[in-house]
Chain A
Amino acid sequence: MEERLHPSTAQHLIAPIALLFALAALPPQDLVEDLCVDCHRGTGAEAGFDLQALLGRETLASGLFDWRRARAMVESGAMPPPSGPEDPGGLDDGERAEILGFLDGIESQALELGGHPGHEGARRLTRAELGNALQEILGSKVAIEDLMPEELVANNGFEASPDTLLVHPTWLARAAAAVRLTLDAALPNEGPTSIDPLDPDLGALIRSAFRRPVTDDELARYRGALTDRRMAGASPRESLRATLVQILASPHFLLRLEDSTAATDGEARPVSAHGLASRLSFLVWVGPPDAELLDLADSGRLLDPAVLDAQLARLLADPRALRFGRSFAGQWLGTRSLGTRVKPDPIDVAFMTDSVMADMRDEVARFLLELFRADLPLDELLLGEFSYVTRELAEFYGLEDPATFPAGAPTRVAAMPAQRRGLLTKAGVLATTAYPDRTSPVLRGAWILDDLLGTPPPPPPPDAGELDEELFEEAEEPGLRGALAAHRRQPSCASCHARIDPLGFALEGYDQFGRARTHDWDGEPVDARGELPDGTSFAGPDGLAAALLRNRRSDLAREIARRFLRYSLGRPLAWQDERAVVELSQALRDGGFGALLRATVASRPFRWIEPR
């Protein structure tokens, strides 16, 4: 295997993990061939899942994510299917141990051979990044949401992805229009301007737009353009405006090119100081680096670990870090759809105002941000007593004396009531994972399995059947719990829903808007008991939180690390990144969220690129 390691991997010290797994030999794959390949083979493979091709790869770990799909099917008992009427399907204990051993071996191989840096390439700015950058550079702000289209999402709901962020004529035409409108606000004919048209510091403007030092040629070219316009009789304001359009429609501004030059394809190299400055600021501020960061990049001092740490702390303490809280929470947890996709009828549900939904989103964002700012331990995500509540949200939650909360801005509450502690009880999360007029233990359970634990349930089989009225009538227990119990009795549904539903049941004490309740939609008393697949039983959100932290701690830490790394890199993760994920999750478990951030910024995928 040694020759498969890229030379540069050896320079980077992830020695402890590499040593741990270096000797791990892959267990035999015979059983997979015997039990699975018959159906999962070639172009006509069942479910389009060609295991034969995966087994034929030189490096099995390169199919890591597909193997995890296989693991989910095996662990749930859905695969292998019954071979005949007498066969219940699934695996016996011996087979199960052997197959899981084989799959564990692939996980180990991924850690052993992984660690190559990726290359996300010069993607364009997202809508949010463009708006923040224009504000930063020009000192004026326009409502970018009205000017640019909402980004499409893929890969677990993250929008910044080099695969999806295309520059095409409509986008460019819109970006140019946004630039012009922001310039109109920055350079008004009357009243104060944020840039002096008579004496603009063109060098500083270009530097902050291009996020790197300006070459003499560039400065001369733009100065020349400005002078030419003035000579041609344009007003100082008009000349500056036209020159700034030229700068802000440039690929150096619209695309992340600050660390793209001097590329030698296929050769890993450290991210440059300016590349790092941008990576930091786009992570924490969802926008470009400020002058201080650029100064430290110019001098190279940013690469000094102590300086880098101090900068990270500075960025995080800055009010702009709230953008990170909003962006990461919205994309990871899905709360950004509250108020748009999730939008209760304003007449029927008068209390779900746009403003209270914004407060709910913000509560989750500020809660997450404090975890990072205060370097709080993993447990605080699910148990944290503090929160950020506006007057309207205090009324919604039924807190005592809501009138004492200032209107508008949220107030930090050190200890929320028992039923409002931790992420799982935040209205933003509860309302996002429900249907408009009722709760869904399935949605909430699947959300926990996917977004928090990284073990999404496989999609329902084609013959899954529906939760239809007959099920409600046949059910032995009343209401949704009874119908879901009946659904789970169908063999094709049982294996997955036994994992999904009980997690959601623990949150039945909250309605579809996130209000606490004692009776469900059918008037039945809430039954918030549930259990983990391993048999651990619990009740209510605090019971669920404790059970997750105790029994699924490793999955939880891994998935948070995975989502955070994916957010930080702005690209989907590859199997080679799993090594960093393991390191980062360890940092989170040993330290806290601040440690996770610092470890991410120090990690190989964040600090190295391999241009392609």
Chain B
Amino acid sequence: MKPLPNPSRRRFLRGASATLALPYLEALAPRDAAIPTRAIWLYFPNGVAEGSWKPRWNARTGGLTALHPTMDPLARHRQHLVVPRGLYTPRGNGHGAGTATWLTGGEWEHRELDAGGASVDQIAGEALGGDCIVPALTLSARGEGHFSTDLPRNTLSWNRSGRPVFRETDPRAVFQLLFGSEASADSSLLDSLREQVAQLEGRVSATDRARLQEYLQAIRGLERRVAFAQKEETVRRLSRATELGFDFDPRVPPAAIPSDHGDYLDLMLDLVALALWPGASRVASMMLDHGQSNRYATFVPGVQGTWHAVSHWRDTSGKTEDDDGVTSWKDRRTKRAMYDAIVTWHHARVARFLDRLAALPEGGGTLLDHSVVVYGSSISDGHEHGESNLPLLVAGGGGGAIRGGRVLDQGDEISMSRLHLATLQVLGLPAGRFAEADSPLDLA
């Protein structure tokens, strides 16, 4: 049993990589065509204080010299990171529209509940995840406060028919879906349900046929649990995960949503890793919180007030319409420091998740080598509801298609759709276009 690195060991590793100064070719993953590349989108709300995403880099080579100090937790993965600058979402941004269209590159129509088309995760999942239980897993932290059940702020994923894909917030439900046994045992049940759909299909309207297709797809997902659970590789990998230091046993469902917020997010992210590694899902998205999180961020030491209120860091009165009337701040500097602290705390969750991916062996490398992780927000500076230079980064080896340790500084007004297009290509899809983008961001 090999535990994950403890903090002091992490510090040691960070120091070591800094002194060794590996040429980045060595950091590249071995190419192994048999191993599928996975994609994960990690979203956080409310942006970052202006400047707190800005790295240092070598203008000549584009080499990432250092992350911003507030991104310290991610520094140990520096060689696996690409930080693109100047990205924006030309057709809409912000807490609501920006969240709903973050992965579609489209425009948000609130009356039609239309985010402008299918999201990149669903496109990839559908194309690549045919034999998965849930080709594209969609998760989120359960919201607190305003907008916790608001659709656009809680929806990154939109299916091929443009319908919102529900995000799951309960780790027990995710566990049951992926590794639950009872329903999967009853394949005669699933046969009978499929038969009922077949009998109905010819007799209902086109809309209802589409609804029945959704139902049928869900049935197929549950059906695939049977085969998945019985696969030798599944059994081997899931028992190995426990040995590799996962905090929970994939054979035992979690008892409840952990009361500690950090434990909760870590568990959800562990489930992402455990869904992807043995192939229960091919891609996944996880909202670290909904698009306008009004959660009291007091789980971060030294922070007072809600995340969204703190993100409006230039106003300290505590008396704006965004405030709760209870909390106020000493000055802008203090409030900005709290804003940074909240974001840094979430970076630590993501860094731990990257540790997880790097701890799961696959071929000659790790799951991180065979993954592309897109991490970021739909807003730049939270106070300004900034639209340009969105905080985004790409992590992972992408199966050899991503060259890490770099900053992409290619000007302003680069559509985020070019990143989505690049991600689809990293996954090996023959995509030539995503939304209005026809040239991918160069990740290689």
Contact = CB atoms under 8 A, between A and B. Distances in A.
Nearest to B162: A163
A263 B221 CA distance: 28
Contact of B152 (A123, A149, A154): A154
B133 A169 contact: yes
B96 to A, nearest CB: 10
Given A169-B222, A249-B189, A257 B204 contact: yes
Contact of A251 (B170, B193, B205): B193
A122 B218 contact: no
Interface string B180-191: 101100100100
A299 interface: no
B230 interface: no
A171 B218 contact: yes
Contact of B177 (A169, A265, A435, A472): A169
Interface stretch (B37-45, B74-82, B143-151, B347-355): B143-151
Contacts of A119: 205, 207
Nearest to B176: A173
Nearest to B108: A48
Contact of B204 (A122, A162, A249): A122
Given A166-B166, A436-B324, A122 B203 contact: no
Interface string B39-56: 000000000000000000
Given A168-B218, A437-B325, A572 B211 contact: no
A162 B170 CA distance: 23
Nearest to A247: B192
By CB atoms of chain B within 10 A, which of A163, A170, A472 has the most? Answer: A170
Interface in B287-322: 312, 315-317, 319-322
A151 interface: yes
B205 A263 contact: yes
Interface string A247-274: 0011110110100111101000000000
A173 B183 contact: yes
B150 A249 contact: no
B141 to A, nearest CB: 13
B111 A155 contact: yes
Q: Indicate the member of B151, B174, B222, B320 with the most A CB atoms within 10 Å.
A: B151
A435 B173 contact: no
Max chain A C-beta neighbours (<10 A), residue from B146, B193, B312: B193
Contacts of B92: 48
B149 A169 contact: no
Contact of B197 (A172, A251, A512, A572): A251
Interface in B147-172: 148-152, 154-155, 159, 163-166, 168-170
A242 B185 CA distance: 12
B200 A261 contact: yes
B110 interface: yes
B247 interface: no
Contacts of A159: 149
A245 B205 contact: no
Interface residues of B, number: 66
A466 B315 contact: yes
Mostly, the B contact residues are loop
A512 to B, nearest CB: 8
B107 A265 contact: no
B151 A173 contact: no
A289 B186 CA distance: 30
Interface string A324-346: 00000000000000001100000
Nearest to A446: B321
B212 interface: yes
A221 B196 CA distance: 11
A572 B111 contact: yes
B151 A169 contact: no
A9 B218 CA distance: 38
B214 A168 contact: yes
B168 A149 contact: yes
Contact of B206 (A176, A251, A612): A612
A48 B107 contact: yes
B180 A150 contact: no
A172 B211 CA distance: 13
A500 B169 CA distance: 36
Given A169-B133, A466-B315, A468-B317, A153 B151 contact: yes
Contact of B205 (A121, A174, A472): A121
Contacts of B323: 435
Contacts of B155: 152
A257 B204 CA distance: 9
Given A466-B315, A612-B206, A172 B218 contact: yes
B208 interface: yes
A230 interface: no
A612 B211 CA distance: 12
Interface in B194-228: 196-197, 200, 203-208, 211-212, 214-215, 217-219, 221-222
A41 B189 CA distance: 55
Contacts of A442: 321
Given A150-B149, A152-B151, A168-B218, A611 B207 contact: yes
A91 to B, nearest CB: 26
A612 B173 contact: no
B91 to A, nearest CB: 8
Nearest to A438: B325
B204 A263 contact: yes
27 contacts: A121-B211, A122-B211, A124-B211, A149-B170, A149-B173, A153-B149, A161-B113, A162-B211, A166-B164, A166-B165, A167-B214, A167-B218, A168-B217, A170-B168, A170-B173, A170-B177, A171-B166, A172-B222, A173-B222, A174-B173, A177-B176, A249-B193, A252-B196, A254-B215, A255-B215, A260-B203, A341-B146
Given A255-B211, A265-B206, 19 more contacts: A48-B92, A119-B207, A150-B149, A153-B151, A154-B152, A164-B164, A167-B214, A177-B176, A249-B189, A260-B204, A260-B208, A435-B325, A436-B325, A437-B326, A467-B320, A469-B315, A469-B316, A469-B319, A611-B204
| 5 closest A-B pairs by CB | A169-B221, A469-B317, A611-B205, A437-B325, A438-B325
